[in-house]
Structure 1
């Protein structure tokens, strides 16, 4: 699973500057809205037909541009910023930075989010509202639980080796 996450990080072109900006809590919290927005965009095909591709593509663009849109935060002392920094620690996976007791929880939350995402996609493709909402809920809860574990990892790890200095443009 970590390999998939690292591939996603590369696809998103997440460099130090982007991570600094993504540590802004506005970036994290507004990005949480991506799956519900994408759900509405895809579901809108019932009302606007192929025009649903416009809001769908805008949501995908939002996912990519979001970590670049906000300035670096004035403070990292909040849950969302710590979760983002913890995700950097997890992705770097340097020896001694992640305690073994975190790994099973990370695997479980990743599986919950992934299976929820699969149900969500099936629901979107088949126009099944129950599957869409159940999958969306499971996936988002799994992701938020994962993010909470990233906060623990950030607090337990020698972050000074990984945390970029916050510089303002």
Structure 2
């Protein structure tokens, strides 16, 4: 992954591997309603409390990829989606199929539109904007992540950089010594 992308996301290779934990992926996905509630709360708790709650959610989103241990097994949908995201972000260094890139860009735009609607609905305290915004955001994101899983499956053996992401080193250094036999 280009150094600029890593810096922009604040993630190095170790952080990405920890983010491949299903716990990280699913708890991050579950955060959007909390963000909407934090923003919505401005009418109930006042703007400063809402800003504080929103800041807590943003901090959670920043900490989340580093919080959970790296998964022992990455042969699951969430880990593969994370690996696919890394591959997609690295597409300028290692080209990916054009159809996948275009689909990912379109699905990212759909997700962004839903996210903006969610934010507007939360700011206006309008359920009729917020709920469809949430639905579009989640639908777009889930379809995008599924496409990124497919991208990872296509690319995992196509380039040496991606070949070993899902392999954890296996050796005897992790085992407890066997007591001697008398």
**Same fold by TM-score greater than 0.5:** yes
Q: Give the SS at the match of 1:117.
A: helix
Q: Give the SS at the match of 2:73.
A: coil
Instruction: Note the C-alpha offset of 1:12.
Output: 3.0
Partner of 2:29: 32
TM-score normalised to the size of structure 2? 0.80
Partner of 2:50: 52
Q: Which has the larger radius of gyration?
A: 2
RMSD: 1.9
Residue 139 (structure 2) aligned to one of 125, 138, 141 = 141
Partner of 1:110: 108
Higher relative contact order (CA 8 A, sep 6+): 1
Q: Give the SS at the match of 1:46.
A: helix
Distance 2:168 2:63 in 1: 19
The answer to whether residue 91 in structure 2 is matched with residue 95 in structure 1 is no
TM-score normalised to the size of structure 1? 0.85
Q: Could you say if the C-alpha distance between residues 53 and 166 of structure 1 is closer, same or farther in structure 2, counting changes exceeding 3 Å?
A: farther
Partner of 2:16: 19
Distance 2:30 2:22 in 1: 13
Distance 1:29 1:95 in 2: 28
Listed as ranges, the matches of 1:117-128 within 5 Å are: 117-128=115-126
Unaligned runs of 5+ in 2: 170-182
Q: Could you report, residue by residue, the CA deviation over 1:39-65 in whole angstroms, capped at 9, with x for unpaired residues?
A: 011112222223122221110000000
Q: Could you report, residue by residue, the CA deviation over 1:121-143 in whole angstroms, capped at 9, with x for unpaired residues?
A: 22122222111111121112111
Runs (4+) off by over 4 Å: 163-167
Instruction: Note the C-alpha offset of 1:166.
Output: 4.7
Partner of 2:69: 71
